[in-house]
Structure 1
Amino acid sequence: MFKKLKKSLGFNKDKKDKAEELNEGARVAIQDSERKDNVPPSEEQTAPEPPPAEPATEKAGLLGWLKKGLAKTRTTLVQRVENVLLGKKEIDAELLEELEEVLVTADLGIKTVEEIIKGITESVQRKELKDPEQVKAHIKAALLAILKKGEKELDLDMAQPVVMMIIGVNGVGKTTTIGKLAHRFQSQGRSVLLAAADTFRAAAIEQLAIWGERVGADLVKHKSGADPSAVVFDALQAAKARKCQVVITDTAGRLHTKVNLMEELKKIKRVAGKEVPGAPHYSFLVLDATTGQNAISQAKLFNEAVNLDGIILTKLDGTSKGGVLVSIINELNLPICYIGLGEGLEDLREFKAEPFVDALFE
């Protein structure tokens, strides 16, 4: 991969590709880096009539939560980048090769790394990037440009009820994630009903019942071994009768390689759609960040089977492989809807690109 990039250091000016999109953000970040050090955050907003800013304490709390949870990824990515740049006098092929190795190790994915390295190379060719000290700002801006494409605002008022289907292999924290989602929606004043459609795993129904009781959500369940689609049907009937606003459907943890289980997911979707038009309105895949690039292969196959609406990435606090989040967005064009950075009820939050990147680089 890097041989091609070394050749490109001959400063060919006619090469343009997706890296240009990343360069635009990087160029601005580099040119404004000194100015931004002395400008309050409020002055950096250029959009007309921005929405009211979050209270300072809330923003500080979010940044602190992210910094703590992303500490391992920050060490693998940002601190290693800083170590590579330390003492360097020029941006040459050797420096780019070292950066490439660091970025790949951080699980950003080959496609993303190629785009970032190519973007740096082209900025050097245009003499916009001269000092190695500017490279870190370029990488930060390039990552922010990618991650902004992965933000997604959920519309929880699109239907009554809004139906969510939660998918994932065993061990990724699926049931816990459902409990935290229910708590989040309940805290927002929305009534939640849980559908225990994981009827195969031992104790799955009981675990979901415990979560329902803990967060104050209704639960619809059948016996172990029952037809999951029947559970979903009854849950949606109950939700409509009780005027519940959100239904969260648990599903059996399954390997993405098991055809019959993937077909079961499709059946659940069909049953839900007949009972509530458009349901499930959101199909979320829960991924364990500690699995790194294996999460990409899972997401690809699940997406082919059920057309995912987004990813919930858990256990980011326990891994140095948080860069996989970038790969998911850039390679699969799937949004990251929620991230998990701890075991507490409040440790599942909406993904926002800017504070995420700030937590890594500050």
Structure 2
Amino acid sequence: MGFFSKFKEGLTKTRDALMGKVESLISFGRKIDEEFYEELEEALIMADVGVNTVMGIMDDLRSAAKKQKLTEAEELKPVLKQILVELMGEDKAELSTNRDGLTVILFVGVNGVGKTTTIGKLANQFKAEGKKVILAAGDTFRAGAIEQLEVWGQRAGVDVIKQGAGSDPAAVIFDGIQAAKARKADVLLCDTAGRLQNKANLMDELNKIYRVIRREMPEAPHETLLVLDATTGQNALSQAKLFGEATGVTGLVLTKLDGTAKGGIVIAIRKELEVPVKMVGLGEKIDDLQPFDPKDFVDALFAE
């Protein structure tokens, strides 16, 4: 299945929820009036596009309708699509890698968002490209996290560096860097704990991991990817703001996009944060982690 086909299929629930409502509003013969705008605004908010983002979209829509002297609701569909394309930007955000040696990618995010699964899928992708990959089991807090990462390591056919449960996460990441250097690995993927019950402790821990990585490799981490669960909608946006303030996030991974009608959160994140969405999870299979293409996202939303 091609990338666009996979995207289109993965966005079925969001497209049905958002565009289904929009299609019924932008029906043949419906006139553009204040009631129409209010209903469209509500439809966008219900799809988790976010209130602030929706207000901006509606302002642009009204302005375009006035400028182009549009009177029929159906004339607004291509206008709405163009507004979303401009909002999302057309540039695909590639993962940053180190061309001259080891690439270190740090993963952060709360528990249950699919962080470990994402690491396993990305390890599989790098391995398929012929790269030597090592995983560092830096989530020493959650029961079963190390074992879960080991299972993914076995699936992808890559080594996992670990210590016992409850050990110092920064020490595990240190071991991972040393092992990656010694074994001449191309990529080191670092898991971290995601507890939010005590935010101060979590952020201190992440800062310590950062300091250890930078001490061993001043130019690393090459990416700090925040993993978010798309099914949580607006909650994902608040998590992104929290982690972004504390950890210098360079990119976002949105998981479970295929399982939610709240895919509009991608639009809200793009508008309200300065951090690009780099990858999205569109299913359970090992190859269902895909690079995020903003234009394909909008095209898939508007696909018949």
Give TM-score scaled by structure 2 length: 0.96
Matched letter for residue 11 of structure 2 = L
SS in 2 for 1:165: strand
Structure 1 residue runs of 4+, over 4 Å off? Answer: none
Report the Cα distance in structure 2 between the residues aligned to 1:67 and 1:106, rounded to whole angstroms.
17
**Alpha-carbon contact 2:174-2:213 (below 8 Å) kept:** yes
Report the Cα distance in structure 2 between the residues aligned to 1:256 and 1:307, rounded to whole angstroms.
20
* Residue of structure 1 in register with 2:217 after alignment: 276
| Pairing partner for 2:79 from 138, 143, 148 | 138
SS in 2 for 1:160: coil
Gaps of 5+ in 1: 1-57
Matched letter for residue 267 of structure 2 = V
Post-superposition offset of 1:150: 7.1
For residues 23-172 of structure 1, what are the structure 2 equivalents within 5 Å? 61-148=2-89, 151-172=92-113
Report the Cα distance in structure 2 between the residues aligned to 1:210 and 1:175, rounded to whole angstroms.
10
How many equivalent residue pairs? 303
* Residue of structure 2 in register with 1:22 after alignment: none
Post-superposition offset of 1:128: 4.7
* Residue of structure 1 in register with 2:275 after alignment: 334
- Calculate the aligned-residue CA RMSD, in Å: 1.5
**Alpha-carbon contact 1:196-1:219 (below 8 Å) kept:** yes
Report the Cα distance in structure 1 between the residues aligned to 2:263 and 2:142, rounded to whole angstroms.
29
Change beyond 3 A, Cα 1:317–1:265: same
Give TM-score scaled by structure 1 length: 0.81
* Residue of structure 2 in register with 1:350 after alignment: 291
Deviations 1:289-310 (A, max 9, x none): 0100011110001000001001
**Alpha-carbon contact 1:197-1:228 (below 8 Å) kept:** yes
Report the Cα distance in structure 2 between the residues aligned to 1:159 and 1:281, rounded to whole angstroms.
12
**Alpha-carbon contact 1:149-1:329 (below 8 Å) kept:** no
Deviations 1:37-77 (A, max 9, x none): xxxxxxxxxxxxxxxxxxxxx6xx22221121111100111
Post-superposition offset of 1:148: 2.0
* Residue of structure 2 in register with 1:13 after alignment: none
Identical counterparts, % of pairs: 50
Deviations 1:184-220 (A, max 9, x none): 1111111111001111111111111111111011211
Matched letter for residue 288 of structure 1 = D
**Alpha-carbon contact 1:70-1:316 (below 8 Å) kept:** yes
Matched letter for residue 330 of structure 1 = K
Report the Cα distance in structure 2 between the residues aligned to 1:256 and 1:332, rounded to whole angstroms.
24
Post-superposition offset of 1:143: 1.2
The structure having more radius of gyration, on CA atoms, is 1
Q: Larger deviation: 74-83 or 249-258? A: 249-258
